[in-house]
Amino acid sequence: MRIIESFLKSNRCYQKAEQNTRGGLMLHSVGCPQPSAQAFVGSWNNAEKAACVHAFIDANTGDIYQTLPWEYRGWHCGSGAKGSGNDTHIGVEMCEPSCIKYTGGATFTCSNIPAAQEAVRRTYESAVQLFAELCKKFRLDPLADGVILSHEEGHRRGIASNHGDPVHLWNQLKMGYTMDGFRKAVKAAMGSATVPAASSGTRITGTAQATADQMRAYIKAKNPNVAQSVIDMIPLYLSEGAAEGIRGDIAFSQSCLETGNFTFKGSAVTLVIIAFKAYLPIFILTDKLAGVLVNLDLGCVAHICVTRFYDAYYQSAAACILYYLAGVPVCHAVSTAGARLHDKPMHAMRADSYVPHFYV
């Protein structure tokens, strides 16, 4: 399997950079006699194009042309009565043989059945391998209900427009392929390794296990000269974490790790400060906002919200605090009296579009 990065940077879906939840994968076929993935890459890479899939599979070679980052929201299946699979599923199009000719709807004739079958076999096998890799990457069980769908199945579930692909292609060429068989093939391609359950390992969501006293003792042992402002943040991490369903002890540990226990020496935050001129949760902003210090309460809210964002891009009840370099807030998050206000849902934000960048 060969994946060729061919991001459609002029396409509206790429430009918007909205996020999908990556809860599943949807398989399509292009619905026209075009075996070349590059033909679609060329024609879809423009600002007038609103539709976009995450990848095309070339029918001549089996190569996969990735056209969107997997995390981005595409527009590949339309919508239905129950919403849109574009919000939840990564969409992959299989190109189709040049020797077919559509005569109406999903019906076609074929001038060279062996050649068409070989082309379809190539795209099918590449799709199996790609979906296996994506299931591993995003910890998806290909046999779980609704994880892997065809466009046709998406329509039946009320999350996609009324299309019959790709089964119409398989059936008329008598390939013997089915979506149930495809899902089983993906599972087999993943090998004997079990897909990790979503709850395996240590989750950042949940209730803090360390107490405030334990957290204070830890940071003082690691950095005897730690600033009092850091000590003062510890109860905020726990209270804000509890309000958001995030383990405040883990979020605080992340701050310790990336700041060298708030010595700001020999740690990742040195690079962050150099590259982005900002750091959570203290929010010492430089450049045009030199000298501005956002209060600790809001700093902790933002850090907790960004941590929530990393947990499967969860749409938090509070949003990150975003500032343009001019200092105008794009999105406000407040915790006074437990109130949380946001202008924009988390899934519509893109981590690397924040100004300044809040990397935690």
**Residues present in the chain in total:** 360
Cis amide prior to 166 (ω within 30 degrees): yes
The pLDDT value given to residue 296: 58
Q: Are residues 149 and 278 in the same domain?
A: no
pLDDT in tens, the chain (360 residues): 899 999 999 999 999 999 999 999 999 999 999 999 999 999 999 999 999 999 999 999 999 999 999 999 999 999 999 999 999 999 999 999 999 999 999 999 999 999 999 999 999 999 999 999 999 999 999 999 999 999 999 999 999 999 999 999 999 999 999 999 999 999 999 984 444 444 445 667 778 888 999 999 999 999 999 999 889 889 988 888 887 778 888 888 888 877 888 887 754 444 333 333 333 333 333 333 333 344 556 667 667 766 655 554 333 322 333 322 223 333 322 222 222 223 333 222 322 332 222 222
> What is the C-alpha separation between 60 and 37, in angstroms, rounded?
9
The pLDDT value given to residue 250: 86
- Boundary residue ending a domain (155, 189, 223): 189
Q: Are residues 153 and 266 in the same domain?
A: no
The answer to whether residue 197 is domain-embedded is: no
| Amino acid letter, residue 331 | C
The answer to whether residue 163 is domain-embedded is: yes
- Boundary residue ending a domain (189, 224, 243): 189
Q: Are residues 262 and 183 in the same domain?
A: no
> What is the C-alpha separation between 111 and 98, in angstroms, rounded?
9
The pLDDT value given to residue 254: 81
> What is the C-alpha separation between 134 and 113, in angstroms, rounded?
31
Q: Are residues 74 and 130 in the same domain?
A: yes
Q: Are residues 176 and 279 in the same domain?
A: no
The pLDDT value given to residue 298: 63
Q: Are residues 173 and 45 in the same domain?
A: yes
The pLDDT value given to residue 352: 30
The answer to whether residue 168 is domain-embedded is: yes
The answer to whether residue 359 is domain-embedded is: no
The answer to whether residue 286 is domain-embedded is: yes
Residue 103's CATH number: 3.40.80.10
The pLDDT value given to residue 191: 85
Instruction: State the total domains in the chain.
Output: 2
The pLDDT value given to residue 264: 74
The pLDDT value given to residue 310: 53
The pLDDT value given to residue 156: 96
Q: Are residues 41 and 184 in the same domain?
A: yes
The pLDDT value given to residue 307: 63
- How many C-beta neighbours within 10 Å does residue 242 have? 15
Q: Are residues 185 and 243 in the same domain?
A: no
For the entire predicted model, the pTM comes to 0.58
Encoded tokens for 203:
């989750």
Residue 338, judged by CB atoms within 10 A of its CB (0-12, 13-18, 19+), counts as exposed
Domain with 230, as residue range(s), is 212-353
Q: Are residues 326 and 263 in the same domain?
A: yes
Cβ-proximal residues to 78 (8 Å cutoff; 6+ apart), any chain: 84, 86, 160, 161
The answer to whether residue 204 is domain-embedded is: no
State how far Cα 123 lies from the chain centre.
Answer: 24
Torsion, Cα 46 47 50 55, to 10 degrees, reads: 40
> What is the C-alpha separation between 360 and 357, in angstroms, rounded?
10
Cβ-proximal residues to 131 (8 Å cutoff; 6+ apart), any chain: 25, 27, 92, 142, 148, 182, 186, 189
Strand, helix or coil at 127?
helix
The answer to whether residue 269 is domain-embedded is: yes
The answer to whether residue 341 is domain-embedded is: yes
Q: Which residue's structure tokens are 């107490």?
A: 211
Q: Are residues 342 and 224 in the same domain?
A: yes
Q: Are residues 128 and 219 in the same domain?
A: no
The pLDDT value given to residue 91: 98
Q: Are residues 36 and 152 in the same domain?
A: yes
The pLDDT value given to residue 299: 66
